A and B are shown apart, each in its own frame.
Chain A
């Protein structure tokens, strides 16, 4: 496997606001290898978008610290114009709402042509051919016609396909997809995910897929990172995370997955309460106000921050519960409930 292609170490992103310092990302670390897919999962406000924008170098007002190594180069200390040159070329990003993410006054083709020409000194004619080619590859029918359409003339799914075409037009090595299916119809969501998976194979791209829905990443991600209040609480390969998750928050996320075979009222594992404030982050384990097992650790969950530690090879968990207790809770308490009566 070799060296990781992207390595994020102890990343912190903070915003100074009138209400105080917002700690959106607070000591996050993860790695991503070439051509692999990392799923980042967490509730709204857990810092997923802030993390991806930090990698892209798109924060203007934020305080950043830590390290983001892309192919060995540190993006945090890099000059703004150097990181700009990497954007679109080495790393690309697609966003949640494809309609507002495209300029309403320019044709879809023009926007892809522009993306290509930023990094390639070619004539518009050549770039246009490339744009049509890309639109075809993302599954847009009659691309030579649709290339001259405006974003509002596309359907939601088609627009996200066009955004993907634009993001991949310069053959980036990293694609960050920030909730790419949230704004789309359920029927279209699966198509877009399939498309991302297929294209990832063709383009040999590493992918970070961000979502608040564990179901979305289950099939596509090699590894999954669960975020809570700007930190990683659990990190494991996709198989491990679904077969033996260890963090109470992850259990809650699994419990809130929509399922066809049970009524919503039967779901016993919904996470109670609301996400924490990022200005006054709860002391100790930030999840403790919502965690049903916090008392099991005496004072520790309330006073000391649990470190992210390996419970087995490649499986990292940030929780004070002893490993055996976590295994036992999962087997006897959580798993039966998830599997339903």
Chain B
């Protein structure tokens, strides 16, 4: 078990390093491959209508004229030990972990991102609880009552859930139930306001995932019920209820939990559509704004954060899977 843990942890770290390299390369090399000069690149960091002097200064400060390896080294060093950025007279210190400095907002990227984490976390975790409970129970019931009115009705709704885009269901629910829109309130300052404002985004986001999970669970459950070990459980004289709960559910839910972990990991990096639709100041919203403003340091920072969540989630999922399925160990 210990060796397994060490191996998976090392793998996760390696994966993060590779992700950072790839992300870095995309943002720093690809534009040049596409024919951008270093000057044009530097100009993007300065803002609208930059002067040649500003460009030169930025190039110098960011080391854009240095080899890519050196630039990557500086970037990593910034994450570990912090980094200084200077514009003419004043020097800005970007404390560790420094994921870059936005010259457009004149702020380091990391603190802004951290500010937005609670919003996205609140949205993702709340929705996840709702969709896991509803999606899985509907899926299980549908499988057990396959072909009945309940099953058919549930699957039609589920089909709608997976096909309707978030901005449609989101805007519709806003128009129907909360025409004034929602405002994020931190849980710590007003738990009730937190919940009441997030309710619609939760339900909208959960509807999509619950639909997916209901379909997945139903399919998994139907397959599990044909397994030989289910027949064995019945042959022992086990009550059907226990055949379902102790034998079938255990086997059906294990792979679903894997998907669940990865979905949460993905959402923590920003529920882009939901946050945009409901104007929630989360990580996804930050990413959209960064892209719209062509603010490369921000985009780089948010990409790395999202990658981090995915890597951590898959690590957690691997460990949980090893606990849940005895065949996985080592």
Interface residues of A (CB under 8 A from B): 56, 58, 84-89, 92-93, 95, 97, 100-105, 107, 111, 114-115, 118-119, 150, 152, 163, 166-167
18 A-B pairs in the complex with CB atoms less than 8 angstroms apart? A58-B231, A84-B237, A87-B234, A88-B236, A88-B237, A92-B235, A100-B227, A101-B231, A101-B232, A104-B251, A105-B254, A105-B326, A114-B246, A118-B236, A118-B238, A152-B327, A166-B236, A167-B235
- How far does the Cβ of A57 sit from chain B's closest Cβ, in whole Å? 9
Interface contacts (Cβ under 8 Å), in number, total: 70
In residues 217-232 of chain B, which contact A (Cβ within 8 Å)? 227-229, 231-232
Query: Contacts A95-B228, A102-B229, A103-B251 given: A114-B326 contact, CB under 8 Å?
Result: no
- How far does the Cβ of A61 sit from chain B's closest Cβ, in whole Å? 11
The complex places the Cα of A85 from the Cα of B254 at a distance, in Å, of 30
Q: Is B324 an interface residue (CB 8 A)?
A: yes
- How far does the Cβ of B230 sit from chain A's closest Cβ, in whole Å? 9
The complex places the Cα of A100 from the Cα of B229 at a distance, in Å, of 6
Whose C-beta in chain A lies nearest to the C-beta of B240? A84
- Chain B binding surface SS class: helix
User: Which of the listed residues A97, A100, A103, A152 has the most CB atoms from chain B within 10 Å of its own CB?
Assistant: A103
B239: A residues at CB distance < 8 A? 84
- How far does the Cβ of B176 sit from chain A's closest Cβ, in whole Å? 44
Whose C-beta in chain A lies nearest to the C-beta of B324? A105
- How far does the Cβ of A102 sit from chain B's closest Cβ, in whole Å? 6
Q: Is B288 an interface residue (CB 8 A)?
A: no
B237:A103 contact, CB within 8 angstroms: no
Whose C-beta in chain A lies nearest to the C-beta of B248? A103
Q: Is B233 an interface residue (CB 8 A)?
A: yes
A101:B229 contact, CB within 8 angstroms: yes
A150:B235 contact, CB within 8 angstroms: no
The complex places the Cα of A58 from the Cα of B231 at a distance, in Å, of 8
B326:A89 contact, CB within 8 angstroms: no
A56: B residues at CB distance < 8 A? 235
Q: Is B7 an interface residue (CB 8 A)?
A: no
- How far does the Cβ of B43 sit from chain A's closest Cβ, in whole Å? 59
In residues 305-328 of chain B, which contact A (Cβ within 8 Å)? 324-327
